[in-house]
């Protein structure tokens, strides 16, 4: 189980970088859907990887909110990440489109906070 975690972390970091690259484009060229979906995919992969690293199996149909709650139980520092303004947390990452700039920015911020947390915890290097 733990052997799958590094691949999930690598994929999460890659998706977060892709979201960042999209945000660095001129504003009129930014495809907000790509930023949002890449950020959501990164969040989901960070959390699945963290759970698997701790020998906790995840189901394919778990959404971001469910994964987040499981991560908080395992490590209360996840609770420092605020999901209140994140409206897509109850959906699978491929089920909703994001076009609102505030939503897209919030998705990217949360994914970045997860990346930072896992680096502080020495899960990611």
* Domains of the chain, residue spans: 2-120
CATH level 2 (architecture), domain 2-120: Up-down Bundle (1.20)
Nearest to 77 by CA among 114, 108, 124, 40: 114
Alpha-carbon torsion (94, 100, 106, 108), positive or negative:
positive
pLDDT score at 49: 97
Note the pLDDT tens digit of each residue in 34-89: 888 999 999 999 999 999 999 999 998 899 999 999 999 999 999 999 887 776 65
- C-alpha–C-alpha distance, residues 28 and 108, integer Å: 18
């Amino acid at each position: 189980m733990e052997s799958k975690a590094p691949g999930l972390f690598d994929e999460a970091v890659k998706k977060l970088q892709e979201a960042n690259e999209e945000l660095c484009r001129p504003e009129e060229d930014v495809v907000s859907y790509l930023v949002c979906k890449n950020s959501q995919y990164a969040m989901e992969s960070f959390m699945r990887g963290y759970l698997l690293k701790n020998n906790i199996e995840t189901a394919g149909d778990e959404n971001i909110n469910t994964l987040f709650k499981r991560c908080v139980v395992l490590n209360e520092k996840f609770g420092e990440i605020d999901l209140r303004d994140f409206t897509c947390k109850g959906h699978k990452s491929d089920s909703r489109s994001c076009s609102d700039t505030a939503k897209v920015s919030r998705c990217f911020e949360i994914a970045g906070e997860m990346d930072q947390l896992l680096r502080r915890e020495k899960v990611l290097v």
